């Protein structure tokens, strides 16, 4: 009898999967500072706001598509898309300003958030 998933056995047979750290201890709270908490809160807030504005942008696009040519609904959807784009621009401008402050003053506001690039 042949197996229809031939790779499953080889994947299971690869050995033990180590999920936890090697030390078995969990101590990230020992190095937590007030600045780290503020930095994490700022990063989380910026991410949440960017996701909300992106969701509003998608909803505005769907509203425009489903407006059926009604001028009032098209205008409402256009305003929603414009507001979402302005909100996203404000979030990205705040991110850029915070990065500039980090560079100028040599402090960490965003907790090591990096923008991915193609350069290695």
Q: Which pTM does this prediction carry?
A: 0.58
In 3D space, the residue among 42, 48, 45, 49 whose CA is nearest the CA of residue 84 turns out to be 49
pLDDT surpasses 70 at 8: no
pLDDT bucket at 11, cuts 50 / 70 / 90: low
Question: What DSSP line would sit under 5-51, residue for residue?
Answer: -HHHHHHHTT-----S-SS----GGGG--HHHHHHHHHHHHHHHHHH
**pLDDT at site 62:** 94
**pLDDT at site 14:** 56
Q: What is the mean pLDDT of residues 88-116?
A: 79
How far is residue 48's CA from residue 80's CA, in Å, rounded to a whole number?
A: 18
The residue extents of the domains of the chain are 34-112
């Amino acid at each position: 009898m042949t197996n229809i998933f031939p790779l499953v056995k080889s994947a299971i047979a690869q050995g033990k999967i180590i999920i936890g750290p090697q030390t078995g201890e969990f101590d990230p709270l020992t190095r937590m500072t007030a600045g780290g908490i503020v930095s994490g809160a700022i990063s989380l807030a910026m991410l949440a706001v960017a996701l909300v504005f992106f969701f509003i942008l998608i909803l505005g696009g769907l509203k425009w598509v489903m407006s059926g040519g009604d001028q009032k609904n098209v205008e409402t959807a256009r305003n929603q898309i414009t507001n979402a784009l302005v909100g996203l621009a404000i979030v990205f401008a705040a991110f850029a300003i915070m990065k500039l402050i980090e560079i100028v003053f040599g402090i960490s506001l965003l907790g090591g958030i990096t923008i991915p690039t193609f350069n290695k």
